[in-house]
Amino acid sequence: MGSRFPSHQLSNGLYVSGRPEQPKEKAPVICSTAMPYTGGDIKKSGELGKMFDLHRKSGPLGNQPSRNTSFGGAASNSGPVSNAGGRSNYSGSISSAVPGTGGSSRTKSNSGPLNKHGEPTKRSSGPQSGGVTPMARQNSGPLPPVLPTTGLITSGPITSGQMNSSGGQRKVSGPLDSSVSMKMRTASFAHNPAVTNLNAEDGYSIKGSIPTAIIWLVALLFLVGFVAGGFILAAIHNPILLIVVVVIFGFVAALVAWNICWGTKGVTGFVRHYPDADLRTAKDGEYVKVTGVVTCGNLPLESSFQRVPRCVYTSTCLYEYRGWDSKAANTTHRRFTWGLRSMERHAVDFYISDFQSGLRALVKTGFGARVTPYVDESVVIDINPDNKDMSPEFLRWLRGRNLSSDDRIMRLKEGYIKEGSTVSVMGVVQRNENVLMIVPPAEPISTGCQWAKCMLPTSLDGLVLRCEDASDMDVIPV
């Protein structure tokens, strides 16, 4: 058929436009022979040793002939390569000119990153045999620590401990000195932001119950009354006013003394008789009292002396008795009284399961929150000059806090709230999405006057914790 456009006939008889294609050269077939067994020696593995890039450190790989000329054409390799010597999964990118037929340049490309020498990085797993130290390769995860000769994997950071013979860090196991461990544990609690350190001694304070202005006003009125009564008694010999002032003064003094002695019991009685709230119906921002079982949060505490684990509140107080010629425990310690010498009180966040509703609430007593604890403390040990050597644990506890143990009369008290104890908490309900929390109130709460008990009003600042002596209670397992 005639046409201006060139055409040609296919083998099946069909005419198509265009010139016939020139026959292409067939790519040479790559032939490989089975590698002999090398016994784990990579130097005898031929191309496998080159894949691991070991010829740079270990020198030539023997008298193996070069096989670069056997690859004739562009090739793209990715995946496992196996022979009798071993196996390796690799991916990389390498470009090299390989002499071949007709002087053409052939390129071998692989996918993956390059190392600092411009060569593909290898990923390998398992130790290499043959006495050759493997080079650094890319791994899919953190590098394992260098194991000691025993092969024992120890917990903790690999940089802790002493130096071993190879210059690395070695973790040494064994018991530490108890005084050192006490210092470390105390320092960790004191500097942990999640732990609230309660440095003020709790209990009833008449100064905190009555405003200072009212105290000074009452003192001024009594002073005026005594002066006026004395003047009238001296002028007209009439003692009526002076007797009235003395009676009123005696009543006020007795009331103050009563509150000083029984103020703490009055507050705990107020907390005990305060009605429990139902968390299902409690409104956001409402001041409530919740009683339930305690569960530890993310950071449980441990008592200082008795080492009671899984606590949410701990208190360890050391008291000293001051005689006539004894040393004072603190600057306000009076003679013939017990004075506070050392105190360690800590609180953390915990959970409470309400008895009324069964709901679980997070009590925010950690992170420096304002907390007023009313937790009963029990006497752990009494020390005097005669029996101070009978308790090595107590002497070790004193040394851990740099406290002297000379001729003093001392008493150690400890209280705690451990997991499973029954606790009453007074605070403000806060609902944050699906989280129910009890937080400290913005302002102190007053108990008001308890006339039946002759108790003056008391301010409760922050969250109020009330727990009986945990050592005498039946703890509910959780």
pLDDT in tens, 319-336: 999 988 888 888 889 999
Which of 218, 235, 266 is a domain's end point? 266
- What element of type H or E holds 417? strand 409-418
Average of pLDDT values for 362-368? Answer: 95
Q: Is residue 57 part of a domain?
A: no
CA distance linking residue 376 with residue 349, whole number of Å: 20
CB 106 within 8 A of CB 57: no
Same domain, 297 and 261: no
- Top pLDDT among 251 and 83 is at 251
Q: C-alpha angle with apex 71: 66 to 77, nearest 5 degrees?
A: 110
Predicted local confidence at residue 449, as pLDDT: 87
Average of pLDDT values for 74-97? Answer: 40
Same domain, 261 and 366: no
CA distance linking residue 201 with residue 370, whole number of Å: 13
Same domain, 365 and 459: yes
| Residues whose CB falls within 8 Å of the CB of residue 178, separated by 6 or more in sequence, listed in order | 396, 400
Count other Cβ atoms within 10 Å, centred on residue 462: 20
Average of pLDDT values for 184-213? Answer: 75
Predicted local confidence at residue 391, as pLDDT: 84
Average of pLDDT values for 91-118? Answer: 44
CA distance linking residue 316 with residue 377, whole number of Å: 8
Q: Is residue 460 part of a domain?
A: yes
Predicted local confidence at residue 35, as pLDDT: 57
| Bridge partners (DSSP) listed for residue 196 | 347
Ordered alpha helix ranges (H), 87-202:
178-191
Q: Is residue 286 part of a domain?
A: yes
DSSP 3-state of 290: strand
- Top pLDDT among 39 and 172 is at 39
Q: Is residue 8 part of a domain?
A: no
Q: Is the pLDDT of residue 419 over 70?
A: yes
CB 458 within 8 A of CB 208: yes
CA distance linking residue 457 with residue 259, whole number of Å: 10
Residue type present at position 159: T
Provide the pLDDT confidence category of residue 308 given band limits of 50, 70 and 90: very high
| Bridge partners (DSSP) listed for residue 460 | 445
Same domain, 394 and 313: yes
CA distance linking residue 235 with residue 227, whole number of Å: 12
**Helix 212-236 with 240-273: angle, nearest 10 deg:** 160
Domain count, the chain: 2
Supply 433's token pair.
């999405």
**Mean pLDDT, all residues of the chain:** 74
CB 51 within 8 A of CB 133: no
Supply 151's token pair.
């092969």
Count other Cβ atoms within 10 Å, centred on residue 36: 12
CB 313 within 8 A of CB 347: yes
CB 48 within 8 A of CB 32: no
Provide the pLDDT confidence category of residue 270 given band limits of 50, 70 and 90: very high
Provide the pLDDT confidence category of residue 57 given band limits of 50, 70 and 90: very low
Same domain, 238 and 337: no
| Residues whose CB falls within 8 Å of the CB of residue 21, separated by 6 or more in sequence, listed in order | none
| Residues whose CB falls within 8 Å of the CB of residue 182, separated by 6 or more in sequence, listed in order | 304, 396, 397, 400, 401
Same domain, 343 and 433: yes
Q: Is residue 352 part of a domain?
A: yes
Same domain, 246 and 284: no
CA distance linking residue 217 with residue 211, whole number of Å: 10
DSSP 102: G
Same domain, 304 and 420: yes
Residue 438, CA distances (Å) to 21, 134, 276, 285, 445 in order: 85, 59, 14, 9, 15
CB 381 within 8 A of CB 166: no
Cα end-to-end distance, the chain, whole Å? 98
Which of 266, 287, 309 is a domain's end point? 266
DSSP 143: P
Of 308, 301, 278, 302, give the one whose Cα is nearest residue 290: 278
- The strand pair at 435-439 and 360-363 is best described as parallel
* Dihedral angle sign, alpha carbons of residues 170, 173, 179, 182: positive
Q: Is residue 390 part of a domain?
A: yes
CA distance linking residue 246 with residue 227, whole number of Å: 12
Same domain, 310 and 397: yes
Q: What are φ and ψ of residue 348, in 5° steps?
A: -135, 170
Q: Is the pLDDT of residue 184 over 60?
A: no
Q: Is residue 134 part of a domain?
A: no
Same domain, 226 and 329: no
DSSP 3-state of 282: coil
Burial of 359 (0-12, 13-18, 19+ CB in 10 A): middle
Q: Is the pLDDT of residue 170 over 60?
A: no
Residue numbers of the domain that contains 229: 208-266
Supply 335's token pair.
């003679």
CA distance linking residue 80 with residue 91, whole number of Å: 9
CA distance linking residue 351 with residue 364, whole number of Å: 9
The beta strand positions in 130-232, using DSSP E, are 162-163, 169-170, 196-197
Same domain, 325 and 218: no
Of 127, 172, 170, 125, give the one whose Cα is nearest residue 148: 170
Q: Is residue 71 part of a domain?
A: no
Of 129, 115, 54, give the one whose Cα is nearest residue 86: 129
Q: Is the pLDDT of residue 138 over 80?
A: no
Predicted local confidence at residue 199, as pLDDT: 78
Q: Is the pLDDT of residue 34 over 70?
A: no
Which of 266, 289, 316 is a domain's end point? 266
Same domain, 251 and 341: no
